[in-house]
Amino acid sequence: EPEVTQTPSHQVTQMGQEVILRCVPISNHLYFYWYRQILGQKVEFLVSFYNNEISEKSEIFDDQFSVERPDGSNFTLKIRSTKLEDSAMYFCASRRETTGELFFGEGSRLTVL
Amino acid sequence: KQEVTQIPAALSVPEGENLVLNCSFTDSAIYNLQWFRQDPGKGLTSLLLIQSSQREQTSGRLNASLDKSSGRSTLYIAASQPGDSATYLCAVETGANSKLTFGKGITLSVRP
């Protein structure tokens, strides 16, 4: 069964450093997403991406965040200058076109010190 | 603004019991509703998706129903097993290919 894969599984960084989280969506999916979950809180939408551009973003997704599809398989989330409050689990997801079902990766845990 | 609520936050049942997990949402104009399972420290596993035009979906021991007009969905788990212990999340989508709005989840513990 194809799955969404994410790397790294855990990253520890210092406040102010840049971080790139990587995702490989399921190969025939066209819509990609980033969500995050702060410990003990709800899963929150960050951004959706289709046809090489952002299709929707939340208020959380400010100028410190960016997404990119640098090649035919990877989808990345960059945080330019991390803050303590960016510590969270970041999930990548892709959508099956026929049903609309979203499939999530295992997540990348980001810890900002 | 869509809000999704799942109550109670936690539930503990003995093995073999049939149980119902509830989800409510404030805006009934949804495109679809999806139930997920999350094990501690892990990702989200899709369980069932119900399109707005559907009333229910079934997969094995799981059955999810949707009542759009009242803003409710239920996930029914038959003959619960310790392996069903996890957090169950409900999420609604308000437009085609749009974002999901999640509830906080119900943490289920099935006692052997």
Whether B59 has its CB under 8 Å from any CB of chain A: the answer is: no
| Mutate: best of A54, A104, A106, A108, partner B, most B CBs <10 A | A104
The reported pLDDT for the residue numbered B73 is 97
The C-alpha angle with vertex A36 and arms to B110 and A83, in degrees rounded to 5, equals: 130
pLDDT band (50, 70, 90) for residue B106: very high
Q: What is the pLDDT of residue A92?
A: 97
Mean pLDDT computed over every residue of chain B? 95
pLDDT of A94? 95
**Out of B36, B96, B100, closest to residue A45 by CB:** B100
pLDDT digits (tens, 9 = 90+) for A36-50: 999 989 999 999 999
Q: If you average pLDDT over residues B4-22, what whole number do you get?
A: 96
State how beta strands A10-13 and A108-112 pair. parallel
Which residue did the predictor score with more confidence, B102 or B42? B102
Cα separations in angstroms, B39 against A75, A82, B69, B71, B109: 24, 27, 31, 26, 11
CA B61 vs CA A93, B31, B57, B91: distances in Å? 25, 25, 11, 20
Does the distance separating the beta carbons of A105 and B43 come in below 8 Å? yes
Tokens 């094990």 correspond to B39
CA distances from B30 to A23, A56, A86 (A): 28, 17, 30
Q: In 3-state terms, what secondary structure has residue A87? A: coil
From first to last of its 113 residues, chain A has per-residue pLDDT tens of 779 999 999 999 999 999 999 999 998 899 999 999 999 899 999 999 998 899 999 999 999 999 999 887 899 999 999 999 999 999 999 999 888 899 999 999 999 99
**Chain A residue closest in CA terms to B42:** A106
pLDDT at residue number A67:
96
pLDDT tens per residue, range B47-68: 999 999 999 999 999 999 999 9
Q: Which of B35, B92, B99 to mutate to test the interface with A (most CBs of A within 10 A)?
A: B99
